[in-house]
Amino acid sequence: MEIHIIPMSEREIEGIAALEKECFNDPWSADSLKEELTNPNARFFAAVSGNEVLGYIGCILVCGEGSITNVAVKTNTRRMGVASRLIETLVNALKNEKAESIFLEVRLSNSAAQKLYEKFGFVICGERKDFYRNPLENAYIMKLSLN
């Protein structure tokens, strides 16, 4: 399967919205995703194979600091390196923009995601109480320094 990582465009919105519903209890709507296309601070990338969206990553960049909003990969294409390629693309894009750091939140129970982020150099730097809903759970705050 040939996978391409591309900047999110209107073509990928419906596929990403479907992916949101598949992966999250509180998914972003297609309209919310479409709004990010006009947000000058948004950096969103999609992993596609042909016309199919396999995954995506979203980030908001403000004053040299990136905040990852979501990383999602279709259930049937997990463990194929899609998330790694998305993270690598985002990290390189933010380095090229001279960003200083990237932050994200991850469920305390999501050890697989934590290990993935650690592979890229993210470290736990704090915790947010009751950050997630459905089910209610705390989040680790993870940070990657880019300089």
pLDDT of residue 1: 82
Residue 26 clears pLDDT 90, i.e. is over it:
no
Residue range 132-141, pLDDT digits in tens: 988 899 999 9
Specify whether domain 4-145 bears CATH 3.40.630.30: yes
Rounded to an integer, what distance in angstroms lies between the CA atom of residue 66 and that of residue 54?
Answer: 23
pTM: 0.94
pLDDT of residue 96: 97
Quick one: pLDDT band at residue 147, thresholds 50, 70, 90? confident
Mean residue pLDDT of the chain comes to 96
pLDDT of residue 118: 98
Residue range 104-126, pLDDT digits in tens: 999 999 999 999 999 999 999 99
Q: What 3-state DSSP class applies to 142?
A: strand
Rounded to an integer, what distance in angstroms lies between the CA atom of residue 107 and that of residue 127?
Answer: 10
pLDDT of residue 134: 83
Residue range 54-107, pLDDT digits in tens: 999 999 999 999 999 999 999 999 989 999 999 999 999 999 999 999 999 999
